[in-house]
Amino acid sequence: MVFSKLFFIYFFLPLCLFAYALAKGTKAKNIVLIIFSLIFYAWGEPVYVFLMLFSAFVNYIAAIVIGKHKDTKIDTLATTLAVIYDFAMLGIFKYSGFIVENINALFSSDIPVPDIKLPIGISFYTFQTVSYIIDCHWETVKVQKKFSNFLLYLTLFPQLIAGPIVRYSTIEKEIENRKIYLTDISYGLNRIVLGLSKKVLLSNQLSIIADTFLKNIDDASVVGAWFGAIAYSLQVYFDFSGYSDIAIGLGRIFGFHFDENFRHPFICKDITEFWQRWHISLSTFFRDYLLYVPIFGKRRKYGGLFLVWLCTGIWHGASWNFILWGIYYGIFVFLEMLIGKKKMKKIPIVIRHIYNKIVIVVGFAIFYFENLNHLGTFFKTAFGFGSNGVIGLQDKITFMNNIFLIIVAIICCFPIIEGLKKLTDKNAFTKHTASLVTTFVSVVLLLLTSVMLVDATTNPFLYFRF
């Protein structure tokens, strides 16, 4: 099931909210959420829902064993086996075909390539189970003794399909003890509408521009290649941050406070800051669980850094472009570490912004082209070695037809809402007025989004495939 579907917005969600409101007590409300979460997942994955349930059971049992045998070999063994199981499942379903293809290419063998459908959201819920198991091992969270509570944590539908990666510690207390206020409901609904608007009104429209140039990269000019890559960068941002907004808003309605996953990444001054603002739940996961892993017996600063970025690329997909993409960002973060924060700050801010925006846009181009030949064509075209000139008629027409969309998208990359909130929170009158205006704007945006979705055939979130 997809958030940006009229069926979800006007049937599934209202039905879930109605059942949730009727349920008395946290225990009953949790049961309602589990049922609706399993229906939500099974709607698109009727078979793989059992895989998720089995993974939940395996990790639940492993955590129970860890809790009963703290600081023993059994604790370590249970942790190791659980993590191996989690990554083995992810490896089989996500990477087995890629691995076999490359073995065949390298050794000229003819091993049958597995054609396994990727379970939706497996990358996200796998990382949640891994983080939970390791945190239990490190004793940073208490082992959840009720399977229903752990199942709720893992299957909670707001973040089940495409994150953010919610740590168990984030909602540990709220699973059994949470309160919902009118302000939570108001905030949640406005956040949901904001996310839907990002997806439907911005991301979906930007995808048309991106595909116009990048899908036909052989025919693109220099300007066309850059225009397409910039449009794709904005498309991915509004798509994924929009999903995160919806997830956070839904969570708030049900009494859960998820951490932010995006903090206006395009206003960053360097690449390191970009990754402190982009997909925060993933970058902090690798930072906390992988960066300080001993390599050849020692914790190695730069070795850990490149391991993190290699895994970041691999996490995103079973394709060489994602591996290159991870290493690409790792190199720039490494270079910024060598330069140092103090020296980076001495570089004129304009130069820093130009530098990091070029790096980011090129990074998204690498992310887009799974075909390395097409990626090579993009680089030749973008840097003036193509055969289609600097600018073409298609570039001018597309830009003029979408100039309003581009301007709105760029403006929406800035923390406009946060800035307005600071201004309106100064006194009760402006705060009340802002609340009324926000409600009105949300209603208008919801109507516009609904109209756009009437004729939409399919509009899945990009991170569904990761």
Q: Which residues pair with 298 in a beta bridge?
A: 295
**Do the beta carbons of residue 321 and residue 98 sit within 8 Å?**
no
316 catalytic? Reply is yes
Determine which one of 69, 137, 264, 316 is catalytic.
316
Beta bridge partners of 295: 298
The catalytic residue positions are 316
